Amino acid sequence: MSLATTETYSIPTGSGRLHAQRWRPTQSESGAPIVLLHDSLGCVALWRDFPSRLAQATGRSVIAYDRLGFGRSDPHPARLDKTFVHAEARQGFAALREALALERFVVFGHSVGGGMAVGCAAAYPDDCVALITESAQAFVEDRTVAGIQAARATFAEPGQLERLSKYHGDKAAWVLSAWIDTWLADDFAHWSLDDHLRQVRCPVLALHGELDEYGSHRHPERIAALSTGPATLRLLPGCGHVPHKEREAQVLAMVERWLGDGYVLADDAA
């Protein structure tokens, strides 16, 4: 598969600049662009070549950005609070939309980025053409807590933080704390996406690995059940938390077919 062409942006916000990248398919481009939202330890670079392949598979441009505090974006000026998942729609994502003059869009989020994607679809119901969640957490489940506790023990071992530094530089310790300390805080225990899911009107594709160590099938089921638009759930057998890496070809094929359904194309043209 040929690689898509790329563009890089530096996007100003009130709290710092965001790094963003856009991949354009080498064939004729059509349809609303897909915006990727990364996971708790992620960044643009950690999507690797998935955005390029997604652009080629769908014929749409694909945009990814580093949230404030991550990757090549500026440091975050504070600790995250329990509203951070829902707040991204009106903060970094809003700045991206304004800078790139994005009107209608498809939003695709992995893990906590999936929760943020739900927030974006809820915040901009007239502009969000479709929502794709991958391994998203819809609430704080025992499996989620256990997975994060296990990861905390792993990252306490010598050399593990340096793995994050490769992608986040001297922000790595903040990135790790933003994930572990926020999700394990007592005041986050009752967090959920429920209210925002009820505001989602666009078509929804909920992807989830059967063996996801950070959440069971209850998460995509809740996403599909509470969103008000047509919802499709795909549970991937034998797959863990990162389907776009573990089952890349399968994920690309599913997204391509799903976005090609009549109701999504009709919304593109609205």
8 A C-beta contact, residue 231 and residue 204: yes
Q: CA 184, CA 172: separation in Å to the nearest integer?
A: 18
Tens-digit pLDDT profile for residues 124-174 = 999 999 999 999 999 999 999 999 999 999 999 998 999 999 999 999 999
The count of other CB atoms within 10 Å of the CB of residue 15 is: 17
Q: CA 109, CA 112: separation in Å to the nearest integer?
A: 7
Tens-digit pLDDT profile for residues 52-65 = 999 999 999 999 99
Q: CA 185, CA 60: separation in Å to the nearest integer?
A: 39
- What is the domain count for the chain? 1
Going by pLDDT thresholds of 50, 70 and 90, the confidence category of residue 265 is low
Phi, psi torsion values for 42, nearest 5 degrees: -90, 180
Beta strands in the chain (DSSP E): 5-13, 16-24, 34-37, 62-65, 105-110, 128-134, 204-209, 231-236
* CA angle in degrees (0–180, nearest 5) for 146-150-153: 145
Going by pLDDT thresholds of 50, 70 and 90, the confidence category of residue 268 is confident
Whether the pLDDT of residue 266 is over 90: the answer is no
pLDDT at position 20, please?
98
Instruction: Please give the mean pLDDT across all residues of the chain.
Output: 95
**Domain of residue 25, CATH code:** 3.40.50.1820
Q: What is the pTM of this model?
A: 0.96
How confident is the model over 70-79, as a mean pLDDT? 96
Per-residue CA distances from 37 to 117, 120, 161 (Å): 7, 10, 22
- Percent of the chain at pLDDT > 70 equals 96
DSSP result, 122-163: HH-TTTEEEEEEES--SB--HHHHHHHHHHHHHHTSTTHHHH
Under 8 Å CB-to-CB from 188, ≥6 apart: which residues?
Answer: 82, 140, 182
8 A C-beta contact, residue 169 and residue 69: no
8 A C-beta contact, residue 216 and residue 235: no
Residue 30's domain comprises 5-268
Per-residue DSSP letter, 188:
G
